[in-house]
Structure 1
Amino acid sequence: MKTVHMLGKEQIEVLDIPEPEPKDDLVVVKIMASGICGTEHTPYYGKSELEINRGHEAAGIVWRTDKAKLVKEGDRVSLYPTMYYFCHKCRPCLSGDWYHCEHPMAHQRFPGTHSQYELIHEDCCLPIPDDIPFDTAAIIDDCLGTPYRGIKKLGVNATDTVLITGVGPIGAAATIISKFFNARVIAVDINNLRLEHLSQYGVEHTINPLKDDVRKKVMEITKNKGVDVAIECSGMEEAQVECLDTVKPLGRVVFLGIKSESTAINVLRHFILKEITVIGSWASRPNEYPEIIEMIQLGLSARSLITHKFKIDDTSAAFKTFFSGKSVKVIINPWDQ
């Protein structure tokens, strides 16, 4: 089968390796669509001593099983992007918070979803209905699920004005989900192409920080009230502070971006005096998949986030396109269809 090896320093190989074998509750999934994620920046640009395939956003068909109990051959599934499976007995698991399982167990996920087949634990195979295309199903968890979980926790609704900083794949997804809930959106990014892409969703305002002062512009738009909700998707310190500065008293903020290691904040000014709610959010939960699927069936324009598709033999070009800033979501097709 074909699989992608990332060698670092923008070098990628497509190799033929033996197909994996199912064993016990590990199943083989035929990958029909695999999305590139921003977290693959490090293995793509860095120097790796190992040949890695970091693909983890995918959908496909359960191809071969051994002793699986949760799925059967032929099932259409979206793959939960984790290297672990879960105990299903601890309090976080029982409440649906798999990511906070107290007893996670590593499994032999191999070789990564930028491949024609992947070996994966059956826990991570979540069913998708026939009317959801594989490319859309591939972006349910990371791209759609990450902002959805944060937006859900903050209770975004039609009375809210929402600031979204950074409109790459996660920020663009946050935009369409906020608009699905009829919120007014102010989108911020230094990339004009990505801001222009949002025009199809009815975004009320866009701001390029290279041209305008974000704080002044937001206050001008909101008549000095500030926004009800701020969704930070870039991970940049300046954007994180802008969210805290421009959210109104009693407002809500969620941090989704993961680039910055530290941020200078003023606890008195940002938190105590304004009495705001600030949360972090990491990925979605399996019990949220049906909610996202229903939103897609009701008209959430998820597929419009996919701006480019590449054959697996053209994976090098796919990564160049993704990190060029001239795309939103890029999909690799392992079967050249």
Structure 2
Amino acid sequence: MGLPTDGVRRYGGRVSNTMIAGRLDLDSLSFAVEEVPIPEPAADEVLVRVAAAGVCLSDLHLIDGTLRLPGGGGKVTLGHEVSGTVVALGSGVSQGAVEGQRVTLQAGQTCGSCASCQRRRPPCLDVRTRGVNYDGGWAEYALARVDTLVPIPDDLPFDQAAIIPDAVSTPYGAIVATAQVRPAQSVGVWGVGGLGVHGVQVLRFCGAAPIIAIDPLPGARERALRFGADLALDPTAEDFAEQVRAATQGRGLDYAFDFAGVSAVREQAAKVLGLGGALVLVGLTDAPLSVADGTRFSARRQRMLGHYGSLPQHVEELIALAGHHRLDFSGSISGHVKLADAADAVQQLADKVGDPIRLVLVP
């Protein structure tokens, strides 16, 4: 990348060798915005000036300790939903990136050493997560391996591009790859938060019908209808199962998506599946998986499908769809918060202030 003769790095007119970053101690679970050195890209990396970084519920759960992913230890810069501009190239980067390029970053990267990576046969068996296994994008600058860059069109705003990896790509991957939903199939979406609301949007795009959104919060149900749900139900209603059967002409659901990661949700969803229906587990939880009536589950040839994250091509497809204006994520940005106030954004999410879909950190 090169240093000026005064020994100080210069980025976009700024003269400094430090930056601020939202750092989590994965051992003590203490979070703080700290001043740290601006990193220098390795041979296969680029340096990105961060323009926007999403605040995800999983970031909150990392901070409060309810989510502990393997391989974590020491301090890490949070943030796996990141977009910005390439400002410097590693010494070995000759293609795949240019300075000034607008990009979003994949939420993770391949390990490079598992059997799949060695044979170049995806998917990787040990994907590394940005903001957990290595530093993420809650910072003024972030490193990215060149193969994790996804160019974005000039007319796609940075904040919308930032949330596509994970907030949109996770439900997209669950719907188009894990479940392989087809037009006119009936679906239920449990939990219409940051993931579930995009699940509704993608299901509408894919032609699922009817789309039934299920959430105990009236505001979330109203939002689901705005994003394309055909019906929004309160899961605590005494006649909940009857309402689902009526909406599906008595057949039950072809797919039930759990975006909440709650045992009670899974039990309720399993009871309204139709013949050959599948429960798709998108929300994360350490709770045991169980089926209340195993005989009925087997007799009706029902399935339980696990899902985690998305594949690189899912992000690329979504960027293309957004670029061609097939999908619009402008309604997903609930607010912008200065990076220096990242702790406030986390608290707003924890307290559900304004019931946000996605808060976005900006420099």
TM-score range, shorter chain: 0.7 to 0.9
Counterpart in 2 of 1:166? 191
Q: Provide the rounded CA distance (Å) in 1 between the counterparts of 2:129 and 2:343.
A: 29
Q: Provide the rounded CA distance (Å) in 2 between the counterparts of 1:305 and 1:93.
A: 39
Q: Provide the rounded CA distance (Å) in 1 between the counterparts of 2:117 and 2:45.
A: 25
Change (3 A) 1:332 1:105: closer
Q: Provide the rounded CA distance (Å) in 2 between the counterparts of 1:148 and 1:273.
A: 30
* 2:44 corresponds to 1:25: yes
Give the superposition deviation at 1:95.
4.7
Counterpart in 2 of 1:225? 251
Structural mapping, 1:1-337, within 5 Å: 1-6=19-24, 12-46=31-65, 51-66=75-90, 67-69=92-94, 70-82=96-108, 84-86=110-112, 90=116, 94-98=120-124, 100=125, 111-153=135-177, 154-183=179-208, 184-265=210-291, 266-270=293-297, 272-296=298-322, 297-325=324-352, 326-334=355-363
Percent identity of equivalent pairs: 24
Change (3 A) 1:180 1:237: same
- Select between 30-39 and 82-91 the one with higher mean Cα deviation: 82-91
Change (3 A) 1:256 1:52: same
User: Which amino acid letter does the alignment assign opposite residue 165 of structure 1?
Assistant: W
Change (3 A) 1:251 1:42: closer
User: Which amino acid letter does the alignment assign opposite residue 93 of structure 2?
Assistant: A
Q: Provide the rounded CA distance (Å) in 1 between the counterparts of 2:345 and 2:248.
A: 39
Q: Which has the larger radius of gyration?
A: 2
Give the superposition deviation at 1:173.
0.9
- Structure 2 unaligned regions, length at least 5: 1-18
**Matched-pair contact (CA < 8 Å) for 1:107–1:121:** no
Change (3 A) 1:42 1:252: closer
- State the 4+ residue runs in structure 1 displaced beyond 6 angstroms: 7-11, 104-109
* 3-state secondary structure, aligned to 1:210: coil
Q: Provide the rounded CA distance (Å) in 2 between the counterparts of 1:91 and 1:125.
A: 18
RMSD: 2.9
Give the superposition deviation at 1:50.
5.3
Give the superposition deviation at 1:254.
1.6
Q: What TM-score do the two structures reach when normalised by structure 2?
A: 0.81
Give the superposition deviation at 1:84.
4.7
